[in-house]
Amino acid sequence: MTASRLVRLMIPCLALPGIALAHAAATGPVYTLIAAHSTLTYTFIQAGAANQGRFKVFTARFDPGAKMLTVVIDMRSFDSGDAQRNGLLGGRDFFDVAQFPQARFTSTQLRRTVGGYVATGALRLRGVTRTIAVPFSWRVIDSGGRQVGLLDGTTVLKRLDFGVGQGQWRATEWLGNAVTVRFALRMTAAAR
């Protein structure tokens, strides 16, 4: 975790007057990930057929009051379901996990929609930062006396926007450019 991220996470906790003003709406609980019950998958089209993989290690933090959604993904934790393909996807032509071990989404804007939100923000993936919009649904349920947040959504990225696919892999006829990212996050309320 970088220092700047730490600071950003701590800001809402600091009771400095200016910051309290800036986050006037920052009330209510903050939600953090229950990793064991959350999934983050990607699907792409290879030779006309959908192929799915997932990320096993990631963290997420949602602060509805402060309108902040942050997701950090350990890129080394992906699994495409095939050992040979894992080697290829982790290598330099695709995720290049040795050089870019982490991907991160930080929202800069959160807009309410029917049944949920659209988070607009920066996705940093494979060293490239791009603004993306992530629509998701949000429900808080009571689970045995605990407040549990369910954050579900889908967003479609273009892999070439982030350099995922170098050299011959830039062609999209047999390996589609569109990658559908699906997330079903289970989050627990924590004190602010």
Partner 1 sequence: MLRNTRARWGALSQLFHWLIAALIAVQVVLGLTGVALPLGMAKLATLARHKSLGITILGLALLRLGWRAVNPTPALPGNLRPHERRLARLTHAVLYALLIALPLTGWMMSSARGFPVSWFNLVQLPNLLSRSVPLYHTLVRVHVALAITLGAVLTLHIAAAIKHHFVLRDDILRRMLPGAPPRPMGTLPSAKE
Nearer to partner 1 among residue 50 and residue 98 (C-beta): 50
Q: In whole angstroms, how close is the CB of 177 to partner 1 at the nearest point? A: 14
Strand, coil or helix: 18: helix
Q: In whole angstroms, how close is the CB of 85 to partner 1 at the nearest point? A: 9
Segment contacting partner 1 by CB under 8 A, of 23-31, 111-119, 127-135, 166-174: 166-174
Exactly one of 17, 18, 48, 145 binds partner 1 (CB under 8 A); that residue is 48
Segment contacting partner 1 by CB under 8 A, of 5-13, 43-51, 114-122, 154-162: 43-51
Nearer to partner 1 among residue 49 and residue 114 (C-beta): 49
State phi, psi for 24 to the nearest 5 degrees.
Answer: -55, -35
Q: Is 188 exposed, middle or buried (0-12, 13-18, 19+ CB in 10 A)?
A: middle
DSSP code per residue over 100-119: --EEEEEEEEEEEETTEEEE
Q: Catalogue the E-assigned strands of the chain.
A: 30-33, 39-46, 49-55, 58-63, 68-74, 78-79, 102-113, 116-125, 128-143, 146-158, 175-190
Q: Check: CB of residue 107 under 8 Å from CB of residue 68.
A: yes
Nearer to partner 1 among residue 56 and residue 192 (C-beta): 56
Nearer to partner 1 among residue 57 and residue 171 (C-beta): 171
- Does residue 178 bind partner 1 (CB under 8 A)? no
Give Cα 154 distance to the centre of its chain. Answer: 10
Nearer to partner 1 among residue 113 and residue 174 (C-beta): 174
Exactly one of 88, 118, 184, 189 binds partner 1 (CB under 8 A); that residue is 88
Q: Check: CB of residue 55 under 8 Å from CB of residue 29.
A: no
- Does residue 171 bind partner 1 (CB under 8 A)? yes
Q: In whole angstroms, how close is the CB of 59 to partner 1 at the nearest point? A: 28
Q: In whole angstroms, how close is the CB of 170 to partner 1 at the nearest point? A: 9
Query: CA–CA distance from 58 to each of 48, 76, 121 (Å)?
Result: 29, 10, 18
Residues at the contact surface with partner 1, assessed by CB under 8 A: 46-51, 81-84, 88, 168-169, 171, 173-175
